[in-house]
Each structure stands twice: as C-alpha cells, then as structure tokens.
Structure 1
Amino acid sequence: MKLVYVFDAYCGWSHGFSGTLSEVVARHPELPVEVVSGGLFTGSRRVPIREFGYVQGANARIAEVTGAEFGEVYERLIADGSFVMDSEAAARGVAALREAAPDRVAQLAVAVQRAFYVDGLSLSDPATYRKLAEEAGLDAEAVVAAFESADAHDTAADEFERSAELGVTGFPTLLAVDGERTTVLAYGRADADDIDRNLASLTA
C-alpha cells in the first residue's frame, strides 16, 4: 500500500493540510508517498488573483480552521491583485524537486507551499526552486534545469492527467492505493488521527 497525495501548490486548503501531511508521513515511514499536482489554476483560470475575490476571506478561514500560517510577505505579494497563480509552473517545480529527491517529495511539497504562502515567492520563478533546493541540500542547478526543461510542460500535463485518472475532484485529497483498490483517506481537511483511523479500517 502507498499514500497518494493530490494537491495544488496554489491551493490554500492544501497549504492548510501541510501539517497533517507531515504528521502522517512521520507516523508511517513504512508507507511510500506519491505526490501528484493538480491543475487548479490553468487555462482560463490563470488570471490575476483579483479575479478571485474570495481569496483573503478564504485564507482567514483556513488559518482559523487549520492553524496554517499566511505570511506578511505573501499578503504584500497579493495585495494589489495583479499576481497570477499558474498551477502548471508550480507542477513543474514540484516535479523538478521530486526528481532530485523522490523519497522526500512530501516534505518538498510542503516547502513549496511555504515558499508561496509564508515567504511570498512566486512558484513561476526559477529562483524559488533554486532556493528550495539549496535549503534541502539538493543540486540546485539540476533542479532549475529540470524546471526549465522542454519536457517539463509534458510532465505537468501528465500530473494533471494522473489527478483526473484518480478521480480527484478537489484539493487536497489523500488516497490509500493498494493494488487495484483506491480509498479516500482525507478530502479538504482532516487531522492525523482521522487518517490513522481510516488506515486502520483498511487493515482490520
């Protein structure tokens, strides 16, 4: 059995789930983790953040419910409403980091979200992944090269297709995949104890 975490790096509720994900991974080192990026802000939804008038209100709710941090630099980044969230670029970045350290992909996904929601860094900027790679002790040049490679766009498209094949309709979604059986462990929000109970029911 393995865990499959389907998220979008520009999804506030996925950011709110980061603490739960980290706790679950720490409790279950025996379970491999696959991280799949969803395409929340692609195509016609790749527009200035002011088009989504609910963002700051939603963030306040996420912080209240999950305890997630939204940093001052992030608040300044989105304040004038011109910032564009591009999930394809974010998916390329997560994939580039995963390529460098596949066994640490869950931790790196959390770090990508912190880079945006706490540090106010654009997930379309190669410098963001250089910084994350350096902080994680990875080959920063290789990560940036993977992010900017000609194949990276196909990789992102494959991620979005994988999310759809899994039947995911919203982010974050945590799945348990055991052979042909796929079980939803969490959707939107849950704590590590909830997920442990759901895991236990699979092996009971």
Structure 2
Amino acid sequence: MKLVLVFDAYCGWSYGFARTMTEIAARHPELPVEVVSGGLFTGARRVPIREFGYVQGSNATIAETTGAEFGEAYERLIADGSFVMDSEAAARGMAALRQAAPERAVEFAAALQEAFYRDGASLSEPATYRAIAERAGLDAEAVVAAFGSPAARAAAEADFRRAAELGVRGFPTLLAVDGPRSTVLAQGHATADLIDRRLAALTSR
C-alpha cells in the first residue's frame, strides 16, 4: 500500500493540509507517498487573482480551520489583484524538485506552498525554484534547468491525467492505494489522528 496526495500548489486548502500531510508522512515512514499535482488553475482559469472574489474569505476559513498562516507578502499580492496563478508552471516546478529527490516529495510540496502563501513568490519564476532547491541542499542549477525542460512539461501533464484517472475532483485529496483499490483518507481537511484511524481501519480488514 502507498499514499497518494493529489494537491495543487495554488490551492489554499492544500496549503492548510500541508502540516497534516507532513505529520502523516513522519508517522508512517513505511508507506511510500506519491505526490501528484492536480491542475486547479489551467486553461481558462488562468486569470488575474482579482477575478476570484472569494479568496480572502476562503483564506480566513482555512486559517481558522487548519491554523495555516498567510504571509504579508502574499496578502499584498492578493490586494494588488493582478497576479495570475498558473498551476501548469507550479506542476513543472514540483516535477523538477521531485526528480531531484523523489523521496522528499511531501517536503517539496509544502515548500512550494510556503513560497507562495507565506513569501508571495510566483511559482512561475525560476528564481523561486532556485531558492527552494538551495534551502533543500539540492543542485539548484539542475532544478532550474529541469523546471524549464520539456520533460517537466510532460510530467505536469502526466500528473493532471493521473489525478483525473484517480477520480479526484477536489484538492487536496489523500488516498490509500493498494493495487487496483483506492480509498479516500482525506478530502479538503482532516486531522492526522483521523487519518490514522482511517488507515488503521483499512489495514485491519
């Protein structure tokens, strides 16, 4: 059995779930974790953030529910309203980091979300991935090169297809996958203890 996290780096609820996911991965080192980018803001949804009028209200709910903190730089970005969230670029960045150290995918997903929601950094900019890679002790130039490569674009598209094949309609979704069977452990929000209970029920069958 393995865990599959389907998230989007530009999804506020995915950001709110990051601490829980980190805790679950730490509690269950025996379970491999596959991290899949979902593709929330692609195609016609790539528009200035001001067009999503619900963002600030939604963020307040996320903060209250999960304890996630939104940084001042991010709040300025929201207030300006012109920033365009591009999930395809974020998925390419996730793919580049994941390629460098696949076993650290949960850590990198959290780092991407912190870069945006805490530091107000664009996930379309190579400099963002350089900074994340440097902090993680990776070869930053290799990560930046991978971010701009056709392979990363193909990996992003493959992630979007994978999310669809898994039947995921909302982010984040955490699945337990055992052969052909997949079970939803969390969708949107859940505590680590609740996920643990659901995992225990699965493994006791």
TM-score category, normalised to shorter length: over 0.9
Q: Give the aligned partner of residue 142 of structure 1.
A: 142
Q: Give the aligned partner of residue 14 of structure 2.
A: 14
SS at structure 1 position matched to 2:36 = strand
SS at structure 2 position matched to 1:151 = helix
Q: Give the aligned partner of residue 196 of structure 2.
A: 196
Identity of aligned residues (%): 75
1:109 maps onto 2:109 in alignment: yes
For residues 26-65 of structure 1, what are the structure 2 equivalents within 5 Å? Answer: 26-65=26-65
Q: TM-score, normalised by structure 1?
A: 0.99
Amino acid at match of 1:96: A
How many Å apart are 1:203 and its aligned residue? 1.1
| Deviations 1:40-88, CA, capped at 9 Å, x for gaps | 0000000000110000110011001100010001111221110000000
SS at structure 1 position matched to 2:83 = coil
Q: Give the aligned partner of residue 122 of structure 1.
A: 122
Distance in 2 (CA, whole Å) between partners of 1:51 and 1:120 is 18
Q: Give the aligned partner of residue 152 of structure 1.
A: 152
How many Å apart are 1:181 and its aligned residue? 1.0
Q: Give the aligned partner of residue 82 of structure 2.
A: 82
Identify unmatched segments of 5+ residues in structure 2: none
Identify unmatched segments of 5+ residues in structure 1: none
| Deviations 1:13-66, CA, capped at 9 Å, x for gaps | 000001100110010011000000001000000000011000011001100110
Distance in 2 (CA, whole Å) between partners of 1:132 and 1:77 is 20
Count of residue pairs the alignment pairs up: 204
Distance in 2 (CA, whole Å) between partners of 1:6 and 1:153 is 18
Distance in 2 (CA, whole Å) between partners of 1:101 and 1:122 is 22
Q: Give the aligned partner of residue 5 of structure 2.
A: 5
How many Å apart are 1:163 and its aligned residue? 0.3
Distance in 2 (CA, whole Å) between partners of 1:57 and 1:173 is 22
Deviates more, 1:75-84 or 1:4-13: 75-84
Q: Give the aligned partner of residue 97 of structure 1.
A: 97
Which aligned segments of 4 or more residues in structure 1 are displaced greater than 3 angstroms? none
How many Å apart are 1:152 and its aligned residue? 2.0
How many Å apart are 1:155 and its aligned residue? 1.5
